[in-house]
Amino acid sequence: MAYPAAVRDAWRAELAGIREKGIFKDERFIHSPQAARITVEYPAGAPLKEVVNLCANNYLGLSSHPAVVAAAHRALDERGYGMSSVRFICGTQDVHRALEEKLTAFLGTEDTILFASCLDANAGVFEAILGPEDVMISDRLVHASIVDGIRLCKAMHDTYKHCDMAHLEEKLREHQDKRVRVVITDGVFSMDGDMAPLDEIVALAEQYRALVFLDDSHATGFIGRTGRGVHERFGVMGKIDILTTTLGKALGGASGGCVSGRKEIVDLCRQRARPYLFSNAVPPPIAASAIAVLDILSATTARRDALEANAAFWRAGLKDAGFVIKDGDSPIVPVMLFNAKLAQEVARDLYDEGVYVVGFFFPVVAAGQARIRTQLSADHDIPMLERALEAFKKVGAKHGILGLDKKGIIEKYGL
């Protein structure tokens, strides 16, 4: 039989197990464009509700920005809908080349190659340039897509403790016999909102002759004085050998990603990176809109400045209210709840109060580290955030967690 009953039963049991643990991930249907305020149907079939959105990666509020939408309309009319080809056969338009050049200038690198997503960029880049004589040394909390890229590559793999420079140095010493050493890190870590100490990483890489790989998906467009990313923030622009990032977050939020960096690395990706060679070109409207986004961001820092102010206001508000938050200064502000079920319940209660957030728990974060990850946008305003804070206080009080530290929450709710 093609689909044996025993297999079906086993998978149904696994799904039931996920539900029993209270960690089943439901999807909510959004009936409006992506924005600071959205209209949501949740659960399925429930009446629509307007809520403040605190969980999109729409950091700069550009996902539905009129100039971005207009650029897509124009490209749709002038360059069509899809390419029906991979880039190297007949899938490269002038807009693709123009976007790659803009990204190179914006990121301060030598060259750029687009992928259908940053997941694809990370999946393709290591295998394209490294072999068994090389080593990849990654921070232990890098994004899942980097882990996948590492798995697909035949180079040796080692890790260092999260942002632990002494441990990284130890590893770099240990691997001096390899042809190439690549230090691999996220810029802003997506679940904690903290940043890699990139100046120290670059210094170590120079000392021990290693390359630096940076995934700046949660930073491109808004971290650093002019929003170039974590490398700008730490004064090491031009020193990142491999920079990957996404168009799917701050840069309009549709889809697409890239590898930007040393020319030879980009050239090798064009020859060998499998997600580039065997997957379709980025659609013209997306490429054109990404160009419009980079033009906006190159003309003014107003949006990243507004985002920074919103994030500072929000962090201070949650802290004053008595929540346990992860310190940092990115627009990712995790509210720690430790217990997965509690995170789910707090998220549900907040929804009833008109605030849209999602609980994160194992395997997205380590077991016992469940949280609600709030994310700010340049499109939030202070009155909106004040109302959201009131909702957090009300729900926090209901669950008796305001003013409790980590130990207190765990004593009350377990792990």
Ligand X SMILES: *Cc1c(COP(=O)(O)O)cnc(C)c1O
Residues forming the active site: 190, 218, 249
369 lies in the site for ligand X, by CB under 6 A: no
The residue among 248 and 317 lying less far from ligand X, judged by its C-beta, is 248
Q: How far is the CB of 209 from ligand X (least distance, A)?
A: 26
Interface positions, 164-203, toward ligand X (CB under 6 A): 186, 190
**CB of residue 289 vs ligand X: minimum separation in angstroms?**
15
Stretch that binds ligand X, among 34-42, 112-120, 280-288, 341-349 (CB under 6 A): 112-120
- Report if residue 262 touches ligand X, rule: CB under 6 A: no
Question: Is the CB of residue 124 less than 8 Å from the CB of residue 149?
Answer: yes
Closest CA to 267 of 108, 105, 125: 125
Task: Report in angstroms how near the CB of residue 242 gets to ligand X at its nearest.
Answer: 13
Q: Which residues contact 350 (CB under 8 A, 6 or more apart)?
A: 356, 357, 372, 391, 392, 395
- Among 236, 237, 235, 255, smallest CA distance to 245 is for 255
- Matching residue, tokens 């025993």: 6
| Least spacing, CB of residue 57 vs ligand X, in Å | 7
Segment 219 to 248, residues that bind ligand X, using CB under 6 A: 246, 248
- DSSP label of 110: S
C-alpha span between 212 and 202 (Å, rounded): 7
In the complex, what is the shortest distance from the CB of residue 266 to ligand X, in angstroms, rounded to a whole number?
A: 17
CB of 187 to ligand X, least distance (A): 8
**Please, which residue, 122 or 344, has the CB nearer to ligand X?**
122
Structure token digits, residue 351: 């929804």
According to CB under 6 A, which one of 181, 218, 303, 371 is a site residue for ligand X? 218
Contact segment (CB under 6 A) with ligand X among 28-36, 114-122, 386-394, 402-410 equals 114-122
* Cα gap 399→293, rounded to integer Å: 42
Which pairs from 73-82 meet CB under 8 Å and 24+ separation?
73/285, 74/288, 75/284, 75/285, 75/287, 75/288, 75/289, 76/284, 76/285, 79/284, 79/285, 79/288, 80/284, 81/283, 81/284, 81/285, 82/280, 82/283, 82/284
Cβ closest to ligand X, residue 35 vs residue 196:
196
Cross-strand partners of 271: none
Quick check: 358 binds ligand X (CB under 6 A)?
no
Query: Looking at 61, 224, 252, 257, which residue binds ligand X (CB under 6 A)?
Result: 257
Listed ranges 71-79, 99-107, 212-220, 334-342: which one lies at the site for ligand X (CB under 6 A): 212-220
292, 268 in Cβ contact below 8 A?
Answer: no
Under rule CB under 6 A, residue 143 binds ligand X: yes
Q: Does 119 sit near ligand X (CB under 6 A)?
A: yes
SS3 388: helix
Q: How far is the CB of 116 from ligand X (least distance, A)?
A: 8
Give yes or no for a cis peptide into 43 (omega within 30° of 0).
yes
Residue 112 host element (H or E)? strand 111-115
Minimal CA–CA distance to 39: which of 26, 27, 52, 55?
Answer: 52
Residue 53 as a binder of ligand X (CB under 6 A): the answer is: no
Q: Which stretch binds ligand X (CB under 6 A): 31-39, 81-89, 111-119, 173-181?
A: 111-119
Q: How many residues bind ligand X (CB under 6 A)?
A: 14
Residues that bind ligand X (CB under 6 A): 117-119, 122, 143, 145, 186, 190, 215, 217-218, 246, 248, 257
